[in-house]
Structures are given as C-alpha cells and as structure tokens.
Amino acid sequence: MKEIIKHIIEEDIGFEDITTNFLIDKDKITKSTITSKENGIIAGVEIAKEIFSYYNLDIVVLKDDGDGVSIDDTIMEIEGNAHLILKLERTVLNILMRMSGIATITNQLVMKVNENAEKEITIAGTRKTLPGLGFLDKRAIKLGGGDSHRFSLDDLVLIKDNHIAIVGSLEKAIELAKKNVSFTKKIEVEVEDWKDGLKAAELGADIIMLDNMNIDEITKTIAILEEKNLRDKVTVEVSGGINPENIVSYGKTNVDVISLGSITHSVKSLDLSLNIE
C-alpha cells in the first residue's frame, strides 16, 4: 500500500510543485484542518493519517473511520511544513472523498433495505473498483456497513456465463470446480433463470447469484428452492439492474445478499476541504 500511495503522490507532484515552490518559503510551518462540507460517513482517515505521518507532519484525528459527519465538522488537524501539506492536499482529499462517498452510499443502502426487509440482508460491493486502489474501495464498503465481496479472483469460485460457454455446460463447470478447487473455497454460480438456479443448488453450489432477474423471477426462484427443500442450503445473491430507487423491492424478496457495482463504479465523492489556518 505504501508503494502505491507513494506512486500516486509522485504522479500528482510531477517534477515539482512550481506554485508552492515559488510562492512560499521552504521552511514555513503552518496549521490546517480537513472539514466536511456535507453529511455522510467518513472513511480513509487511517490512510490519510499514514500519509501525513510518513512525511513527518503532526496530526490530530477528530473523526475516526466509520464515524458520521455533518457539515463543518472537523475531521483532522495537520501541522507542519507548508510545502508538504500543499503537496499532499489533493491526493489525500481525493482518497478521503472517494472512500467517504462509497461508505456513505453503502450505509444509506444498508439502512434503507433493512428498515423494510423481514430479515437482515447483506449489501455487498463487486470487483468494479478502481484498479490499483481497489483495496481502498473495499475498505470503504466495510466502513459503511456493507460486505466487500471478493477482493480478488482467488477468494471464491464464481462461475459466470463465459466460463460455462467455454466449458460447455453448468453441470461440467460445477463438476470441475468441485474436483479441482480446495474444499476451503466456496462455489458461487451466476444464473439467469429459475431452472439454472435450481440446477446449481441441486449440484451443490454454495451461493447462487440471480443475475439481472426481475422481481417476479427472483420470487419464483426462491419459491421453487423452498419447495425442493434447498433454500436453507444455499446463499441467494441478486445483482444487476439494482439502484437506490428499486433496492427496497429486491430486499423484500427474501434474498440473502444484494450486490451493486454502482457503489464503487458510479460513486459520488463526499465533499471535503482542507483549509490553511
């Protein structure tokens, strides 16, 4: 992580910060604060703290990761060399704002769904994250009360339509997975209709992802799994076409997990600012 952070800071600075270098004395010491300009859930504080500390700046943390923030709340205070603070400002704010935006929308969806569902439903992310910084996106989801889903391809066997197209059949794909993959790894199968959902459950899949199914199709699939006494043997995940406007309807279908790529690939950053005192 330190190498990645170092790289993105150096990328932002380029050869030098010509504005700061030519306007401000190199030994100038100053104080600054990072504040919130809107309500939300703050995330990325530990990363910001690590960056500032790496450059020998003094930090006082007033809001921890996962805390709620309101307009004008101070998140942290920074004191030290003015050149360093100004050089790090944009990178640190970009990380904090993106992570806080992800944590905020995740928290809103978790609250919205579970206020209307009959049981607790997990809100999960996907692998539609920022390449190279996906671990920050995943951490933000967790801080917002959601589930990170897979961090990488080695976390879980996830059999998708393209795998099945190459292998030849759903049955063959599951058979190969069970034969070749360690017992420590769960097997998830992406299906697009109730027939394949039932087939995957009967063949021993641990998780069934109902992909791009409408509410009626999801309800039918779950009813058939219950009828066949398979519902309690599998985790049912739904994904595709789900957004903040329709997510409550999906939550009422008695699924276990709702996963959304939009909480990372279309996130609105939380508005924060760094102000020199």
pLDDT in tens, 104-134: 999 999 999 999 888 999 999 999 988 888 8
Give yes or no: residues 213 and 143 share one domain.
yes
* 68-82, 105-119, 144-158, range with greatest mean pLDDT: 68-82
Return the amino acid letter for 271.
D
**DSSP per position, 133-178:** -HHHHHHHHHHTT-B---SSTTS-EEE-HHHHHHHS-HHHHHHHHH
The rounded mean pLDDT for the chain is 94
Alpha-carbon span 118 to 4, nearest angstrom: 42
> Where residue 13 falls among pLDDT bands split at 50, 70, 90?
confident
Cβ pair 57, 83 in contact under 8 A: no
Give yes or no: residues 178 and 256 share one domain.
yes
Give yes or no: residues 117 and 29 share one domain.
no
Q: What is the CATH number of the domain that holds 126?
A: 3.20.20.70
Give yes or no: residues 175 and 72 share one domain.
no
Alpha-carbon span 146 to 101, nearest angstrom: 13
Q: What is the pLDDT of residue 256?
A: 97
Give yes or no: residues 96 and 140 share one domain.
no
107 contacts: CB under 8 Å, gap ≥ 6 = 41, 144, 145, 146
Q: Name the domain count of the chain.
A: 2
Q: What is the pLDDT of residue 220?
A: 97
Is pLDDT at 85 greater than 80 in this prediction? yes
Give yes or no: residues 92 and 126 share one domain.
no
> Where residue 9 falls among pLDDT bands split at 50, 70, 90?
confident
Range of the domain at 153: 111-265
Give yes or no: residues 42 and 138 share one domain.
no
Give yes or no: residues 158 and 225 share one domain.
yes
pTM of the model: 0.92
